[in-house]
Chain A
Amino acid sequence: MNPDYTPYHPKWHRRRMPIFWWLGSGPYIRFITRELTSLFVAYAAVLLLAQLWILSRGPAAYERFLEWLASPAVLVAHAVVWLALLFHTVTWLWLAPKALVVQLRGRRVPNALVAAVHYGAWVIASGLVAWFVMGGAP
């Protein structure tokens, strides 16, 4: 418990927790893994920024960037990044019904349906991204 949150009981006894308390069980490991996907989100944002910068430096620089992307080590690393982002998407959308309680004609829409709609929207969004990146946009 963050001591800032209990300003009126500063001297409560707090048992010390080991730093790696979350290595003990499956759900805790999944929780920390989910939290750590944010690192990969940041990596994607930074690389996207780098790609924009390289794009502005001319065709030759961009060609070198593409060669770097195609080298085996980088491809493997990006496969790991992709898996982490996939984990982020699946777990994030799975939580959507917890954040979003939908009422329809006075009855609560089942969680599974809310999640399913989000997964459907994800498929459509991915299609749109593919359409843009592969040159479908006018």
Chain B
Amino acid sequence: MRSPREPLLWTLFSAGGTITAFVLPALVALLWIAAPLGWTNTLGYDELLDLVRHPLARLLLFGLIGLSLFHWAHRFRYTLYDGLQLYHLNQLIAVLTYGMVEVVRVRRLPIQLEGIDAANRRGRLGAVNRLLSTRVGRASLRSAGAEGRRDRL
């Protein structure tokens, strides 16, 4: 039986396919090929940090990365079905592909974008981070309830 979720998944897949088709070739060529080869003047560290801190840039990055991953999950799932004839693993594959994307999208992506802010507050956080890098420091911080404070920052 076709599940009622199927149309939504196809919509996300196709939104991801379209945004990646429009954006990724130029982005990859500039950021990861032309810039390292010195062919173009791409933004330096400070300007890039400023750019990705802009709310609109964040929204775009969130959409681009989230939808790209969905696009992969859906298409790869069907590649496994059709290409390798793994119909009997239907549910396992769906759980693995969509699950992986959900973990990245819900857990990692916001943390990463938060991290951009944190880079600008490194001074304030330096001491806490140094403590967290040692086992004893972690234990003492946890007992002081400082973990929660760091998460808020």
Contacts and interface: CB of A to CB of B under 8 A. Distances in A.
Interface in A1-16: 2-5, 7
Nearest to B16: A41
A35 B2 contact: no
A93 to B, nearest CB: 6
Given A41-B24, A69-B35, A125-B22, A134 B42 contact: yes
Contacts of B108: 49
A75 B85 contact: no
B68 A45 contact: yes
Nearest to A136: B43
A47 B72 contact: no
Contacts of B16: 41
A89 B41 CA distance: 25
B26 A75 contact: no
B45 A38 contact: no
B22 A122 contact: yes
Q: Is the interface of A mostly helix, strand, loop or mixed?
A: helix
Contacts, number: 165
Interface in B27-73: 27-33, 35-37, 40-43, 45, 47-49, 51-52, 57, 61, 64-65, 68-69, 71-72
B42 A133 contact: yes
How many chain B residues sit at the interface, stated as a range, is 35 or more
A135 interface: yes
A39 interface: yes
B60 to A, nearest CB: 9
A48 B72 CA distance: 15
Contacts of B71: 38, 41
A17 interface: yes
B138 interface: no
10 contacts: A4-B1, A5-B1, A19-B83, A41-B24, A42-B72, A55-B52, A57-B119, A78-B28, A129-B30, A133-B31
Interface of B: 1-2, 14, 16-18, 20-33, 35-37, 40-43, 45, 47-49, 51-52, 57, 61, 64-65, 68-69, 71-72, 74-76, 78-79, 81-85, 87-88, 90, 104, 108-109, 112-113, 115-116, 118-119, 122
